Structure 1
Amino acid sequence: MPLDDGRLPKLLLLDSASLYFRAFYGVPDQRKDESETPTNALRGFLDMIATLVTQHRPTHLVACWDDDWRPQWRGDLVPTYKTHRLTEGSATVEESPDDLTPQVPLIRDALAAVGIARVGVPDHEADDVIGTLTTRHLGVMPVDVVTGDRDLLQLVDDANAVRVLYTGKGGVREPDVATESMLREKYGVPTGEAYLEMSVLRGDTSDGLPGVRGIGDKTAAQLIEQYGSLAALRAAVESGDPAIKGARRTNLEAAADYLDVAPTVVRVVRDAPVPQVDLALPRQVADRLALDELAARYGIENPVSRLLTALGLG
């Protein structure tokens, strides 16, 4: 049903850390004095939101947050999960560039001052917030997920108007728009669920998931296509299907323990305890004084102005 301004409802979910890490590495550091607080990730993140709002015209927007970037329950299932990202000597702290760390609280403050919803959940990653909010809004409004993380391609669902705007190469201005036809064309799988199962077989070094030895993207997709699902493939291995032989059979059998738990680790949670909050775009700046002070103190007047203009609040 159209809103008062004629727009159809649309929910835009931001994988916040994915975007502000990209901004940090992609936006130049303009400081003249290293004693100043860096702001490149903050400026870039605000500009990204302005671009996304302008191009996609959502009516609802959420900055989804990693309250726990490596939940213990995932690490218990696959001990290598994200361990390469841990700060040396720590079991819980994510390694982060020194100049990015002080900017994360500023991003939080900016979102709060503007009035953009920011949602995180204890013991869950932003991916789980995204999965839960997507599930809640199936059939209610279209959902676009903005991320540089291929794991979230599992959410693609044409029937329920769920797309992923994947920022891998083109950034937020020219993302790869992931639909089921794109999954078929690029990865050889027909659905988001099939992509998930293919990714379990393939593994993901960026997340510390080993996958099955000798199985890459193409072979994983072929196996899921041939057998229909990971469960059916495993049943074929266990029943001695003669089509699975040699090193492939050996490697699949050797990976049995991994395959028992990896789908739970890779699959985003769809029913995390995400609080009920107002996800609509702000109709007015939530805290103009705080926003003005933040903009003046850190010299971010221009990106703040661009964001407010995009939101219709300028």
Structure 2
Amino acid sequence: MTTRSLRKCLLLDTASLYFRAYYGVPDSVRAPDGTPVNAVRGLLEFITRLVQDHRPDELVACMDADWRPHWRVELIPSYKAHRVAVETEAGPDEEEVPDTLSPQVPVIEDVLDAFGIARVGVAGYEADDVIGTLTARATGPVDIVTGDRDLYQLVDDARGIRVLYPLKGVGMMQATDEAVLREKYGVDGPGYADLALLRGDPSDGLPGVPGIGEKTAAKLLAAYGDLAGIMAAVDDPASGLTPSQRRRLDESRPYVAVAPKVVRVADDVPLPAFDPALPREPRDPAGLDELAARWGLGRAVGRLRAELASASPHE
């Protein structure tokens, strides 16, 4: 990423957004040959709206090169296990994806590349880890666009880091800062990772600590500061933990010992060199026109193309 200060960056959790688009745009949206392109069109509409509303200087589409990294599965074997379609020895397991979405993913990648929108994925890491690393390196404000609450852990008012969380359909976003996190969950950004670890997350195959739900986790974090403080309280007979809480946390020590590495996003991914600058014109105009015609994306491509051409940096 550029080291120029105060450049506003928009980081897309791309798979999260095209899944949202797939379910938010009717599958009657099809290419001339009848192939569904609802996820493609919906993602383009997402990006157009984001550029229009937020005027970033930099835009990066972060990709899942490995949606279920082996190093996370080694620590917690249940991690995303329920979403595995096919296990593989040589590479990442195949994720269960709707039949009409899978063929759209290469089209999304081709269209982003033709526009010249930076697309970054790193073998062995999830898009979350790419986002975590880019956020750690950023020198200006960052908006992370995701439908995955796991990334709330990166919210940091002091550094101008927010999460834009899609609320409904395509385009409506909730800007999540520390005030929103405290109001909804009683924690700050780093505290959200500890809360998620304690509470568990069935969608990611994280068991959590039995008997410790979201409200109890928030109360424990308020009382003891962080996960380390809570576990120290387990060993302190004078702490205010109930006998049940103490027992359950003590029995969950093996999980608590490894879960932080699974839940917390990496911030040290070896990223390739790339240009994050918001493209003002397509990298491959002819290729983009061909893709738009082939897949029936003329209007969606045209709107984003016009928005990029007229985009001015944020003030």
State the TM-score, normalizing by the size of structure 2.
Answer: 0.92
Letter in 1 for 2:26: P
Contact 1:158 1:179 in 2 (8 A): yes
Partner of 1:101: 102
Partner of 1:149: 148
Residue correspondence of structure 1 range 72-91 to structure 2 within 5 A: 72-87=70-85
Deviations 1:251-294 (A, max 9, x none): 11111100001111000000101122110011321001111111
Residue correspondence of structure 1 range 191-206 to structure 2 within 5 A: 191-206=188-203
Moved more, 211-220 or 87-96: 87-96
Cα distance in 2 between the residues matched to 1:293 and 1:244 = 64
Cα distance in 2 between the residues matched to 1:248 and 1:95 = 36
**Superposed displacement of residue 219, structure 1:** 0.7
Cα distance in 1 between the residues matched to 2:130 and 2:211 = 33
Letter in 2 for 1:148: G
Gaps of 5+ in 1: 1-7
Gaps of 5+ in 2: 1-5
Moved more, 281-290 or 50-59: 281-290
Deviations 1:159-199 (A, max 9, x none): 000000111x235532221111111111111x211111111
Cα distance in 2 between the residues matched to 1:194 and 1:96 = 31
1:122 aligns with 2:123: yes
**What is the SS of the residue equivalent to 2:78?**
coil
> Which of 218, 236, 240 matches 2:237?
240
Contact 2:9 2:140 in 1 (8 A): yes
**Greater relative contact order structure (CA < 8 Å, 6+ sep):** 2
- Aligned residue pairs, count: 303
Residue correspondence of structure 1 range 61-72 to structure 2 within 5 A: 61-72=59-70
Identity %: 55
1:29 aligns with 2:38: no
Partner of 1:3: none
Partner of 1:158: 157
Contact 1:52 1:172 in 2 (8 A): no
Partner of 1:261: 258
Pair 141,295 (structure 1): closer, same or farther in 2 beyond 3 Å: same
Quote the RMSD (CA, aligned, Å): 1.8
Deviations 1:143-167 (A, max 9, x none): 0000000000000000000000111
**Superposed displacement of residue 313, structure 1:** 6.5
**What is the SS of the residue equivalent to 2:85?**
coil
Partner of 1:182: 180
Pair 206,134 (structure 1): closer, same or farther in 2 beyond 3 Å: same
